[in-house]
Structure formats: C-alpha cells, structure tokens
Amino acid sequence: MAVPPFDLRRQLETMGPALDQAVLEVLHSGQYIGGKVVARFESAFAGSVGTAHAVSCNSCTDALVLALRALEVGPGDEVITTAFSFFATAEAISAVGAQPVFVDVDPGSYLLDLDQAEAAIGPRTRALLPVHLFGRPLNMERCMAVAHRHGLKVVEDCAQAAGSRWASRPVGAWGDAGCFSFFPTKNLGAAGDGGCVTTNDPRLSQRMRELAVHGMAERYVHNTLGYNSRLDALQAAVLLVKLPHLPSLISARQRHAEAYGQALAHVNGLVLPSLPGMAGHSWNQFVVRIPGATAQVRDQVRAALQQQGINTIIYYPIPIHRQPAYRHLDYSAGSLPVTERLAGEVLSLPMFPELTVDQRGQVVDSLRLALGNVTAPLQGLSA
C-alpha cells in the first residue's frame, strides 16, 4: 500500500455529506460572490484567530499583497523576511514594489532569525514578514519587540499555520496583519484557492476590503488601484463546514508528530524537528533532515522511500534568494548558509490528519530501511 504525502479521501468520507449540502445551498441561492455565507465565514474565522476583523480574498499570496498595500509598503521600502519559505512570501513584497531583504533562519526552528533580522534593519526598512513555516510558530513576543523598537510593521505569513499558537495566542493575532491560505493542502483547506487577512485595526481592515474590490469604497467610486481578489461563496461554504473541525484536525496532526518523533528518535543519519516548547505547533508538515555533504544523500533516501511506496516532498529545494527570479538581488551561493544547507537536507514525511497508524508505521519502517542503505556519506547528528 502506497502512502501519499497528503490524502483528502478520508476527510470527504466524514465531512462529505455536510459539504455537499453547504455547496448545494450556495448553488441554489444564486449568490456566488460575497453575501451572507462569505460574511459568516469571515466572522467565524476572525473569532477563531481572536482578531476583530478578517478580510477574505482569493489566496494567501493576495492576502500578503493586500496587507502590505494597506500598510502602504511600496517602492523604495524594504521588507525583511526569510528565504526558507514558499516563493509567494517574497513575491508579494515585490508585487507591491518593495524589496525583500532576506536574512537567514535559526538552525533549530528553521524560522526567521530575529537577531539577524534586527541587524538587517536599515533606513528603508518598513516591515518584518515572518513565516510560521510548517505550522511552527515563531516567537512572536520577540518579533513584536524587535518591530516596536524600530517602528516597523509586522505581517505574519500564516499560510501553513492556521490553528498554530504562540504563547496561547493564535498566530495571525500578533502582528498588524495575519495572512492565511486555504489552499487544499494547508491546515484549513478549501476546495480550491482561498485566503484571508486577520487584523485588529479597523482602518487597515477597511483599506484591505477596498483594495480587494478594485479600490472601490462605494459603488463605482475607485479611490485607488486595487485588485479583483475575493473568496467565492462556494469556498466560504466549504470552509464554514471545516472550520469547527480545525482543532481536532490539528490534534490529529500533533498525535502523528509525536508518534513520528518517538519512533524515529535516535535513528542514525536523521535530524528530527526540535520539539521543546512546541505546544502551539500545528504540524502542517513533519520535516526531517538528512544531513549530508550534498543533497545527494537526501535525494537517495527519498528515492528509496518512493520505491517502497512512501511519497515524500521537499519543501523547499531552492531557497528564494537563489531563485532565478531574484538573480538581480545578487545573493551569492553561501550568503544564507543555514537556509541553503536546509534546502539540501529537508524531507517532508507524509502528514495529514487522516494518516493511519499503519501508514505511519510503514513510513517509519521504510525510512529506517532507506537510511540503512544509504551509500553516499552521511554526516553526524551533531550537525
């Protein structure tokens, strides 16, 4: 039996009937854009994050753009962020005309190194854009302290972290804005694209709402150049069915993470996610590291797993600062050593709430076997 990296079928078995009904209701209502269902979802989502406002939109990429635009981050401004993330994190900064400034990540958490972020602050820096990568929450007390010391805005990229908390406050409720993705593989997945920005600032919320509908404040009066970025009513209906299940879906992810952690502890040639203080981790991904002099070791393990039917994914093989699209920013190889090293060593094991105990066992056994058969040189665990 093959183990996929992600599987929706079992979720559809349990939530299917409620989803069918919710979708059909919207279909027959004739209200496909905006309307009550979208408003209900926004208020439910804001409630779950604990913010006063939530502005839904087409994707997290758009959510980031809306937040940055509403904060008036633009040409001439710099935004400090991580290069160990999905491309959209930086793409959104560039899309508003600002420049991403990449700093390295912490080798234990793989998240934005706040000391390096603070050191990179210059006269043009306007905002910090941290990412709660893989569902792991960044230390937001420290992040906000850095921002306040320097008068910077904070936009949290919560795409992989719906349901994550730092110090018992949900991510997305710490910064000026929190940006979420409802892409199907994220913690709260729609049946297509979707996104949302959370904020406690009513003016920011209003500005983002305007920007999402062509900069339109009142009908056919356009205050500014905006976007067409909306969450479809059909997607809102799907999300309204799923949102109440989010805590139990995340508990299931946490159980898998704990079981993986126990079963894989002390396996030679493997570095597990560091666990201390991870109560608020939502485990969108369970990412192990296979240290080696080159990515060849990791790739060999991945291929061996594949042969045994275990499908893994590499998030992310090329860090953002080394992407062809950012060649003009001139980050040379070796400029962000931790990020670059992670890109060659990380491997995401199958992780989704409905993963079975059997599947988990299969992953563990296959991984042990694959690591035992590595021929390329491994590095010690101290790495």
Site track for ligand PLP across 122-141, x = CB under 6 A: ---------x----------
Sign of CA dihedral 30, 66, 102, 325: positive
Contact between 109 and ligand PLP by CB under 6 A: the answer reads no
- Whose Cβ is closer to ligand PLP: residue 131's or residue 257's? 131
- Whose Cβ is closer to ligand PLP: residue 86's or residue 270's? 86
228 φ, ψ to 5°? -110, 95
- Whose Cβ is closer to ligand PLP: residue 189's or residue 291's? 189
Query: How many distinct helices (H) and strands (E) make up the chain?
Result: 12, 13
Residue type, 189: G
Nearest in space to 78 (alpha carbons), one of 103, 45, 53: 103
Q: How far is CA 172 from CA 157, 177, 181, 253, 381, in A?
A: 8, 6, 12, 20, 34
Contact between 157 and ligand PLP by CB under 6 A: the answer reads yes
Span interacting with ligand PLP, options 32-40, 53-61, 72-80, 211-219, rule CB under 6 A:
53-61
Burial class of residue 5, CB neighbours in 10 A (0-12, 13-18, 19+): middle
Query: Which residue in the set 48, 81, 82, 160 belongs to the binding site for ligand PLP (CB under 6 A)?
Result: 160
Query: Which residue in the set 178, 195, 273, 291 belongs to the binding site for ligand PLP (CB under 6 A)?
Result: 195
- Whose Cβ is closer to ligand PLP: residue 172's or residue 291's? 172
Nearest in space to 49 (alpha carbons), one of 142, 185, 187, 145: 187
Span interacting with ligand PLP, options 85-93, 211-219, 287-295, 337-345, rule CB under 6 A:
85-93
Contact between 198 and ligand PLP by CB under 6 A: the answer reads no
Residue type, 168: S
Q: Are 310 and 3 in contact (CB under 8 A)?
A: yes
Annotated active-site residue 186? The verdict is yes
Span interacting with ligand PLP, options 47-55, 104-112, 155-163, 321-329, rule CB under 6 A:
155-163
Q: Tell me if residue 38 falls in helix, strand or coil.
A: helix
Q: Which residue has the tokens 């066992």?
A: 361
Sign of CA dihedral 134, 135, 138, 139: negative
Structure token digits, residue 192: 């297509």
Contact between 232 and ligand PLP by CB under 6 A: the answer reads no
From the candidates 36, 153, 186, 242, which is the catalytic residue?
A: 186
Q: How far is CA 198 from CA 20, 54, 246, in A?
A: 28, 4, 17
Span interacting with ligand PLP, options 18-26, 27-35, 157-165, 305-313, rule CB under 6 A:
157-165
- Whose Cβ is closer to ligand PLP: residue 136's or residue 360's? 136
- Whose Cβ is closer to ligand PLP: residue 88's or residue 297's? 88
Q: Which residue has the tokens 């400034």?
A: 101
Query: Which residue in the set 48, 56, 85, 312 belongs to the binding site for ligand PLP (CB under 6 A)?
Result: 85
Query: Which residue in the set 48, 51, 61, 348 belongs to the binding site for ligand PLP (CB under 6 A)?
Result: 61
Span interacting with ligand PLP, options 25-33, 83-91, 262-270, 321-329, rule CB under 6 A:
83-91
Number of residues that bind ligand PLP (CB under 6 A): 15
| CA–CA–CA angle 229, 235, 239 (5° rounding) | 120
- Whose Cβ is closer to ligand PLP: residue 181's or residue 359's? 181
Structure token digits, residue 37: 């269902």
Residue 35: CB atoms within 10 A of its CB come to 14
Query: Which residue in the set 129, 138, 140, 159 belongs to the binding site for ligand PLP (CB under 6 A)?
Result: 159
DSSP class of residue 378? Answer: B
Q: How far is CA 347 from CA 6, 68, 262, 273, in A?
A: 14, 31, 18, 11
Q: Are 98 and 126 in contact (CB under 8 A)?
A: yes
Span interacting with ligand PLP, options 84-92, 232-240, 257-265, 353-361, rule CB under 6 A:
84-92
Contact between 60 and ligand PLP by CB under 6 A: the answer reads yes
- Whose Cβ is closer to ligand PLP: residue 63's or residue 378's? 63
Query: Which residue in the set 183, 260, 326, 352 belongs to the binding site for ligand PLP (CB under 6 A)?
Result: 183
Q: List, in sequence order, every residue forming a beta bridge with 172; answer none if it has no partner.
A: none
Catalytic residues: 186
Residues interacting with ligand PLP, by CB under 6 A? Answer: 59-61, 85-86, 88-89, 131, 157, 159-160, 181, 183, 193, 195
